[in-house]
Amino acid sequence: MKKIDVKTGQSSYSIYIGAGILAQTGEKLKELGLRDKAVIITNPTVNKLYGAVVKQSLRDAGFKTAVLAVPDGEEYKTLESAGKLYEQLAEWGAEKSTAILALGGGVIGDLAGFVAATYMRGVPLVQIPTTLLAQCDSSIGGKTAVDYKQLKNEIGTFYQPKMTISDVTTLKSLPEKEFIGGLAEVIKHAVIKDEQFFSYLEQNLDRLKPLDNNVLEAVVAKSARIKVAFVEKDEKDMGLRNILNFGHTVGHAVESVSQFRVAHGQGVSIGMTAAAGIAVRMELMDQSDAVRLEKLLAKAGLPTKLPQMDVQQVMRAMRYDKKVQGGKIRFVLPRTIGQVFITDDVSLAVIEKVLGEMI
């Protein structure tokens, strides 16, 4: 098992990453000084797979416990779901000291995190991420949110957990498309910060696909550490964390133009390829590095070409994005594998040309 200590402005906590550690949940909660009651917030898909083991471990450690399940899907990451959860928590008798355990992917992590941050002005939160994206990315950094009307993550708050338990064996039941989507964020972390990790992925991706526990543990831990480093320096997302948006400028636009038929990770993969293409065209990065990135993405099963869509529509979608400031489209561009920078100085003509070549 690996342990990562996270220190932010007002809190410090540990992320545990290992195989089969869900069964230690109750004991670990007790070690933190939590006792009496703990509520698991999850969805029916994850509950069926992992609810029982977490519940049993809580019971064995002497907790009174309940499972509150929200239907599966981003469309339930809403204030309405939060409202129902507040009612259920109150009915069940959840108190200020009752821990909320977010058991699931990023949707549950964001929603349960938001509920934990706001119920009784904040109760202890434990993240138990069960997707690759959640273990490497969304459970780290304290961002909690619900969607509002068509706006993603419109209402939310920063709220750090008391602990995170990432059991890599849960990833074995993940649908392949979800796993591959999560790999995009893992590769993103390597490109923005760590060339050695990128090389490790080049050499070990084949072993990651059959889901070797040791490789999984190493990859989740390495990836999580990179995100932690950014979060520790910029807890409230005031600047440095923007680097984590590598691949997201074009990625979000592609997702939205495809009406979300292109999933997030797949969009980020296309976006990273585009950013690398732009950097090469602007003579900021060697072509050989862009080829390396494209090869690794393809090896992971991720797309590196634009799907059938109008480049002009993608350009328009980018202009509407949150990352546009003063009419300029903000990009995170790579200089090399392991180093990126933020710029507003990419001409529209270059973006258009690169996207045109990616069809």
Assess 227 for contact with ligand NAD (CB under 6 A): no
Find out whether 357 and 268 touch, Cβ atoms under 8 Å: no
Tell me how crowded residue 322 is: count the other CB atoms within 10 A of its CB.
11
The single residue among 127, 138, 223, 249 that binds ligand NAD, judged by CB under 6 A, is 138
45 is a site residue for ligand NAD (CB under 6 A):
yes
- Count the residues in the chain: 359
Number of residues that bind ligand NAD (CB under 6 A): 27
Shortest-Cβ-distance residue relative to ligand NAD: 106
The residue within the footprint of ligand NAD, chosen from 25, 47, 170, 245 (CB under 6 A), is: 170
Binding mask 97-136 for ligand NAD (x = CB under 6 A): -------xxxxx-x-------------------xx-xx--
d(CA 315, CA 302): 22
178 binds ligand NAD (CB under 6 A): yes
Radius of gyration of the chain (CA): 20
SS3 content of the chain, % helix, strand, coil (to 5): 55, 20, 25
Distance CA 191, CA 272 (A): 9
- Give 19: exposed, middle or buried? Use CB within 10 Å, 0-12, 13-18, 19+: middle
Q: How far apart are CA 276 and CA 280, in angstroms?
A: 6
134 versus 272: smaller Cβ distance to ligand NAD: 134
Q: Which is nearer to ligand NAD, 145 or 355 (CB)?
A: 145
CA distance 142 to 157: 8
Q: How far is the CB of 241 from ligand NAD (least distance, A)?
A: 9
Q: Does 235 bind ligand NAD (CB under 6 A)?
A: no
User: For residues 178 and 194, which CB has a smaller minimum distance to ligand NAD in the complex?
Assistant: 178
* Smallest separation (angstroms) from ligand NAD to the CB of 107: 4
279 counts as binding ligand NAD under rule CB under 6 A? no
Q: How many CA atoms lie within 13 A of 146 on its CB side?
A: 19
Structure-derived torsion over alpha carbons of residues 327, 281, 303, 289, reported in degrees to the nearest 10: -130
Six-digit token string for 7:
């220190």
Closest to ligand NAD by CB, 72 vs 195, is: 72
Smallest gap from residue 151 Cβ to ligand NAD (A): 11
Q: By the criterion CB under 6 A, which residues form the site for ligand NAD?
A: 43, 45-46, 49, 72, 74, 77, 104-108, 110, 130-131, 133-134, 137-138, 141, 143, 152-153, 170, 173-174, 178
